[in-house]
Amino acid sequence: MNILIVDDHDVIRQSLEMIIQSEFPHTTCTKLENAQSCTAVFEKNKFDLLILDINLPDMDGTILTEWVLKIDPTQKILIFSMNPTAVFAKRLYQMGIRGFLSKQASVPEIRKALYLVLAEDAYYMSDEFKTMLNYDLLNKNTGNLPDKLSKRELSIAQMLANGKSIEEIANLLQIEPSTIRTYKGRVFQKMEVTTMHEFLAKANLYKII
């Protein structure tokens, strides 16, 4: 079995490899630290599972997830992230991931997720995510601000909230700065803010940062 781990923290990569090999002893783990190396390796190899962080130094993980699933819609992806479940999980499940794990998850919970995705070819959903889905269903909740943003808008909003400039974002996404400014305008409009101060306050409130 071959598993690809993409995370910019070495201790996370090493820890995941240890947990994986304790559960599946004959597994080979390829460990990478950024999106660029991931795309290069992924185009040439097949993996039983991709474990991916959302916050990578050179590309937003949601964009990388979208790219991977365009290349291979059957690829199993398990997100392992510090980002809040409420902000990203629903959108990523809709894209086609198999599970969303918090980096605060216990080792038994990580093993459970691995077993469900790899051994049972099933989906892993944390109790927190199940509770959130049930709440949305019962209340027909459509007021979650991040859900109003497109995948690209949410990605750019997160980068803006984390202090990246228009030029830095344009370079990361390989599109024109003028296009980023257009996206920024759409984000501000949907978030009903007019200044960067208002944007940062609301981004913090909805845990986009």
Q: Any idea what the CATH number is for the domain that residue 114 is in?
A: 3.40.50.2300
By three-state DSSP, how is residue 174 classified?
Answer: coil
Measure the CA–CA gap between 72 and 87, rounded to whole angstroms: 25
Q: Are residues 13 and 116 in the same domain?
A: yes
Residue 156, judged by CB atoms within 10 A of its CB (0-12, 13-18, 19+), counts as: buried
Q: 181 and 131, same structural domain?
A: no
d(CA 97, CA 178): 31
Range of the domain at 158: 145-205
Are residues 186 and 106 located together in one domain of the fold?
no
Instruction: Please write the tens of the pLDDT for every residue from 33-46.
Output: 999 999 999 999 99
CATH number, domain containing residue 200: 1.10.10.10
* Shared-domain flag, residues 82 and 175: no
Which two tokens mark 101? 């794990």
159 and 84 assigned to the same domain = no
* 104 and 152 within one domain: no
Distances (CA, A) of 138 to 89, 93, 119, 134, 141: 18, 19, 32, 6, 8
Considering 87, 104, 137, which residue would you say is the last residue of a domain? 137
| Model-wide pTM > 0.75 | no
Alpha helices in the chain (DSSP H): 10-23, 35-42, 61-71, 85-95, 107-114, 127-139, 145-148, 151-161, 166-173, 177-191, 196-205
Residue 186 CB-density burial (10 A; 0-12 exposed, 13-18 middle, 19+ buried): middle
Residue that finishes a domain, picked among 137, 163, 193: 137
Same domain, 81 and 170: no
Residue 145, pLDDT > 70, answer: no
pLDDT at 138 over 60: no
Number of independent structural domains in the chain = 2
Q: What is the pLDDT of residues 171-187, one digit of tens each?
A: 988 899 999 999 999 99
Please report, rounded to a whole number, the percentage of residues in the chain having pLDDT higher than 70.
Answer: 89
Tell whether 153 and 173 lie within a shared domain.
yes
Q: Is residue 128 over pLDDT 50?
A: yes
* Beta-carbon contacts of residue 163 (< 8 Å; ≥ 6 apart): none
- Bridge partners of 77, per DSSP, are 50
